[in-house]
Amino acid sequence: MTENASPTTTPQPPPKRHLKNFLLDKKFQLTYALIMVGVAMVATGILIALIWIQANAANRVAERQFDDTKAMHKRQSAEMIAMFNKQSAKTQEVFTQESTETQKVFKEKTKQATDVLALLQTQEEFKEMADTMLKEIQQKDAEVIQKHAAQIKEKEDELKKEIEAVRKAKEEQLKAAKEKLDNDNAEAAALRAKNDLRIKIGVIAFSVLFVIILFLYTIVLTHKVAGPLFKISRYLDRMTANDLGPVWPLRKGDQLQEFYGHFERAHDAVADRLKKDVEILSGVIEGLPDGDAKDALVALKAEKERSLNPPKN
């Protein structure tokens, strides 16, 4: 009885990678991925905290600068108004002094004239004339003083009006400048808050996206390690079940290529020894007569051939 050697099988292309098969070793892959995510979350948390602190510090500095500018503007406004009031008071004092001095000059002139007329009044023939002239001088002096006082009063009133108008205009300008400063401060604060919110949302979104990408990348990376180990464990289970079928190569990009090469060589060595056993059994069977011993060897040979070329499921 002639027995043929085990037929060779043609290797099939390796199966494609599917999303559902990425978690081959859930405990190992998820543990490693969660550790990486935890480290990334701590790092991004520190980054977010630093950005948050820096943004708040910048806001406080800007607000302090605006407060200092506002205080300086208020102080300068008060100093300007005080100086303006001081100048107005000095101007009023000058007008009052001028009016007083004018009245004093007229009084002195009147006194000189009245002194001369008083001497004339001692003379009987000049007394009536002196009385008349004294009354006229006193009347004219009074009219001149009254007229001059009215002119000074009119100029003083006009100056007061001009000063008050200038004061109101200056106060309006200071008020407008203060309102503009307040509006600029409010707009700057709103803009800072808006920019801070954008930065914070951007950092948080980037951190979340970074964590998700890192988690998925870690799953893919660990899959490239877990995949070869899973495949080796499956082949070991098949070898335990007396299945020495062909070993398919790893996918492109899988890790542990060198380790898997050692496993392939060990598997091929076991399969080669099994093939030699089949050849030896074939020779022994050809020289044996029919009987139980030959049937047992034929059954053993068939079992070894099935190990080398297992039936397809």
Q: What is the pLDDT of residues 248-281, one digit of tens each?
A: 888 787 888 888 888 888 888 888 888 888 888 8
Are residue 140 and residue 219 in the same domain, yes or no? yes
- The answer to the question of residue 62 being in a domain is yes
Mean pLDDT of 134-141: 72
Q: Last residue of a domain, which of 226, 260, 275?
A: 226
- The answer to the question of residue 237 being in a domain is no
- The answer to the question of residue 2 being in a domain is no
- The answer to the question of residue 249 being in a domain is yes
Are residue 41 and residue 127 in the same domain, yes or no? yes
- The answer to the question of residue 150 being in a domain is yes
Q: For residue 63, name the pLDDT band (cuts at 50, 70, 90).
A: confident
- The answer to the question of residue 189 being in a domain is yes
- The answer to the question of residue 232 being in a domain is no
Are residue 72 and residue 218 in the same domain, yes or no? yes
Count the residues in the chain: 313
Are residue 132 and residue 277 in the same domain, yes or no? no
Are residue 252 and residue 212 in the same domain, yes or no? no
pLDDT at 198: 85
Q: What is the pLDDT of residues 199-243, one digit of tens each?
A: 878 888 888 888 888 888 888 888 888 888 888 888 888 888 877
* Domain boundaries, position 264: 242-313
Whole-model pTM: value is 0.50
Q: For residue 4, name the pLDDT band (cuts at 50, 70, 90).
A: very low
Q: Is 287 left (phi over 0), alpha (psi -120 to 50) or beta?
A: alpha
Are residue 182 and residue 274 in the same domain, yes or no? no
Q: Last residue of a domain, which of 163, 195, 226?
A: 226
- The answer to the question of residue 159 being in a domain is yes
Q: Last residue of a domain, which of 226, 257, 284?
A: 226
Most confident of 101-105, 114-118, 159-163: 159-163
Q: What is the pLDDT of residues 26-57, one digit of tens each?
A: 777 888 888 888 888 888 888 888 888 887 88
Number of domains in the chain: 2
